[in-house]
Amino acid sequence: MAKRIDVSGLHVYYGDFLAVEDVSMTIEPRSVTAFIGSSGCGKSTFLRTLNRMHEVTPGARAEGKVLLDDMDIYGPDVDPVLVRSEIGMVFQKANPFPTMSIYDNVIAGARLNNKRMTKSEADDLVEESLRGANLWKEVKDRLDKPGAGLSGGQQQRLCIARATAVKPSVLLMDEPCSALDPISTLAIEDLIHNMKEDYTIVIVTHNMQQAARVSDRTAFFNLSAPGKPGKLIEMGETNQIFTRPEKKDTENYITGRFG
Amino acid sequence: MSTTTAQPPVPGPESGTKPDLRAGTLPRHFPLGLLVGCGVVVAGVLAAFSSFGLITWALLTAVAYSVIIVTASNRVEGGRKAKDRMVTAIVYGCFLLAMAPLVSLLYTVAGYGLDRFSPYFLTVSMNGVLPSMDAGGVYHAIVGTLAITGMATLLSVPIGVLTAVYLVEYAQGRIKKVITFFVDVMTGIPSIVAGLFVVALWMMLFGPGHTNGAAGALSLTVLMIPVVVRSSEEMLRLVSRDLREASYALGVPKWRTITKVVLPTSAAGLTTGIMLAIARVIGETAPLVLTAGSSAVSINWNLFDGQMMNLPVFIYSQFRMGGAVNYERAWAAALTLVLIVMLLFILARVIGRLFSPKTR
């Protein structure tokens, strides 16, 4: 189910402003890839181009190739809506739908697309997704309660359950733990660890220990200078990036000399 | 971190003396007690000069209270608290001042209106009743008001809400500015002009003399659309981008995101806005005199056939006749109209409560 992503020569723009310049990388299936770098260096922007979420912002566009297995998601006939159902996303701020119950939030992807499913199929999907997100035990007795009534960490796991319920092959996570306490963070990191057997996971994080803990490969982004576009500086095995980085910038960043 | 704890404590500007963080406070019930005291004393003084008047009394009490509380607070609690007391007194004063006309209006309408307000008055029409007879009611006007306003709502809500959706979700650049501008212009159309416009349209389509309820409803629609667009636009903008993106990220197309996420999330606000728009047009008189006619006396449910009486026009025409019974009818009809508007607001609250996002 998990798929590989090959990016080549991708430029990302906001209007005329070039935000990320010339990124090429390969994201391996069934692994966790972490993006690190200082704020404003374009990691999140780049992440959002991987499921064509970037262009939702007026004036925003991307040029280049992003291959999902062998399919270019920026190809001429590609429907961004279908791309997004194949490449799911979890956001920095937990955003359950406020009008829906926990149950409805989980199957929102199916319901909103008017997929026909029987009650028992829906029940199974909800249970499977919530179990996958380590949330089932906590909420199984109050599935009909509003999703907005959960704690921050639970809401974020609900959002992960919602994203996995549409059975994507890739899951993008944009700083999913930045607003959470250490215990909720640990719960989500465990979850990421378990999920990589089924998904290709890409996570943006400001927390380098987190990148070191959860990821197999790490990509370091940086601005060449203030006001200049962000660039991919170095990418490699997480172990290698954190112990023997090839570039001076990477070493400075991970040792805390700047950023 | 360890380096900072090892340093000797830095002496403060007034080392050795602890700052006193306590401050005097007036007793908790002092303001209320003072207000009552002021009221009684002022009443007594005014009575002694035998010049008691409600407005003089209220004004003097307010002034006396403000002066005393600010002085006392300044003495006991200090300048900042005294300012707080003063501003609190001013804010409450302004609130009461703003409430006064409203309460007075409701009191007057209820006082005069109740003379004739009865189940009989609500359930009979003026059919076969001479203006000066002690009989007749507003049933036909209620019917007309509900039918005309109902049709205006049915016409303007879809147009208004969809325009708002277009402006918030789709329109960009020049066309957005143009539409917004024309909506603003429409907001400023005087209601009588909207009535004249529909009269002219009806003349053109059906020839002279074809006033009916539908014409009235159309003129109200012209007035209602911009109000609905404006309020709906604000409500739709309140729905956060996060929710839209959450929906897109699930592979949901834009139109389904709008119908299933954006609109339900803002349903409570949309309902309130629509109710306000209805309340705005339900009391319109001028365009209805021109379009729906002002001489119908019998019950007419058919919007497309003949004149249709409604409450504002009923009030107007009864008041113009000038007899004692007519005045009574006008006031009772006014009370009926106010009650209908209040019912609508309660309904809006209930619907809003049902739709609004819950956390428990």
- Domain region containing B84: 26-113
pLDDT at B4: 46
pLDDT at B1: 42
**CATH number of the domain where residue A212 is located:** 3.40.50.300
Whether residue B132 sits in one domain with residue B97: no
In chain B, residues with a C-beta closer than 8 Å to the C-beta of A85 are: 250-251
Q: Is residue A126 within 8 Å of residue A142, measured between CB atoms?
A: no
- Whole-structure pTM value: 0.82
Inside any domain, residue A117? no
Residue A153 has pLDDT above 70, yes or no: yes
Number of domains in chain A: 1
Kindly report, residue by residue over A17-75, the tens digit of the pLDDT: 899 999 999 999 999 999 998 888 888 999 999 999 998 888 899 999 999 988 899 98
Identify the bridge partners of residue A8 per DSSP, sorted by sequence position: A65
Inside any domain, residue B245? yes
- Phi and psi angles of residue B129, each rounded to the nearest 5 degrees, phi first: -105, 125
CA–CA distances in Å: residue A246 to residues A110, A111, A233, A237: 45, 48, 10, 12
Whether residue B299 sits in one domain with residue B273: yes
pLDDT at A59: 87
pLDDT at B3: 46
Q: Which two tokens stand for residue B22?
A: 């306590």
Share of chain A above pLDDT 70, in %: 99
Whether residue B142 sits in one domain with residue B99: no
How close B175 gets to chain A, by Cα (Å)? Answer: 15
pLDDT at B134: 84
Inside any domain, residue A141? no
Structural element, H or E, at residue B27: none
How close B140 gets to chain A, by Cα (Å)? Answer: 41
Which among A172, A199, A188 is positioned nearest to A35, based on CA atoms?
Answer: A172
- Sign of torsion over alpha carbons B66, B68, B69, B71: positive
Number of domains in chain B: 2
Q: Do A56 and B248 touch (CB under 8 A)?
A: yes
Share of chain A above pLDDT 90, in %: 35
Reported for A225-234, long-range contacts at CB under 8 A and 24+ positions apart, including other chains, are A229/A18, A229/A19, A229/A20, A229/A21, A229/A42, A230/A19, A230/A20, A230/A21, A230/A37, A230/A40, A230/A41, A230/A42, A230/A43, A230/A45, A230/A46, A231/A20, A231/A21, A231/A22, A231/A23, A231/A42, A232/A23, A232/A24, A232/A25, A233/A37
Residue B7 has pLDDT above 80, yes or no: no
Whether residue B320 sits in one domain with residue B172: yes
Average pLDDT, chain A: 89
Inside any domain, residue B13? no
Distance CA(A64)–CA(A13), nearest Å, equals 11
**CATH number of the domain where residue B155 is located:** 1.10.3720.10
ipTM of predicted complex: 0.89
In chain B, residues with a C-beta closer than 8 Å to the C-beta of A114 are: 256
Whether residue B217 sits in one domain with residue B132: yes
Distance CA(A249)–CA(B11), nearest Å, equals 42
Q: Do A148 and B248 touch (CB under 8 A)?
A: no
Inside any domain, residue A104? no
Q: Do A149 and B360 touch (CB under 8 A)?
A: yes
Average pLDDT, chain B: 88
Share of chain B above pLDDT 90, in %: 52
Among B252, B261, B356, the residue to mutate for chain A (most A Cβ within 10 A) = B252
Among A57, A84, A102, the residue to mutate for chain B (most B Cβ within 10 A) = A84
**Residue for token digits 């539908």?**
B214
Nearest CB to B250; choose among A58, A96, A162? A162
Kindly report, residue by residue over A62-89, the tens digit of the pLDDT: 999 999 988 899 988 889 898 998 899 9
Residue A93 has pLDDT above 50, yes or no: yes
Whether residue B253 sits in one domain with residue B188: yes
Q: Do B249 and A113 touch (CB under 8 A)?
A: no
Last residue of a domain, one of B72, B95, B113: B113
Inside any domain, residue A218? yes
Mean pLDDT of A83-110: 90
Residue B251 has pLDDT above 80, yes or no: yes
Inside any domain, residue A131? no
Confidence of residue B2 (pLDDT cuts 50, 70, 90): very low
Least confident of A188-197, A235-244, B22-31: B22-31
In chain A, residues with a C-beta closer than 8 Å to the C-beta of B265 are: 97-99
Confidence of residue B23 (pLDDT cuts 50, 70, 90): confident
- Domain region containing A14: 5-95+170-254
